[in-house]
Copies of this chain bind each other. A is one copy, B any other.
Amino acid sequence: MTLLIDRKEDVQFGVMENKSWRKPVYETHGLNLWYGTTHALKNIDLSINEKEVTAIIGPSGCGKSTYLKTLNRMVEMVPNVHISGSLSFKGENILDKSMPVELLRSKVGMVFQKPNPFPKSIFENVAFGPKIHGIRNKAMLEKIVQESLEKAALWDEVKDRLHTSAYGLSGGQQQRLCIARCLAVDPEVILMDEPTSALDPVSTLKVEELIDSIKNDVTIAIVTHNMQQAARISDRTAFFLNGDVIECDATSKIFNNPSDKLTDDYINGRFG
Contacts and interface: CB of A to CB of B under 8 A. Distances in A.
A161 interface: no
Given A1-B3, A2-B2, A4-B3, A272 B60 contact: no
A102 interface: no
B3 A201 contact: no
Number of copies: 2
A226 interface: yes
A200 B3 contact: no
Contact of A269 (B1, B59, B60, B227): B227
Contact of A59 (B200, B265, B270, B272): B200
A197 interface: yes
A60 to B, nearest CB: 6
B226 A272 contact: yes
Interface in A49-103: 59-61
A242 to B, nearest CB: 8
Given A197-B60, A201-B59, A229 B269 contact: yes
A269 to B, nearest CB: 3
Contacts of A202: 271
A214 interface: no
Contacts of A226: 269, 272
Interface string A236-272: 0000001000000000000000000000011011111
The 4 closest A-B pairs by CB, nearest first: A228-B269, A201-B271, A3-B3, A204-B271
Interface of A: 1-4, 7, 59-61, 197-198, 200-202, 204-205, 226-229, 242, 265-266, 268-272
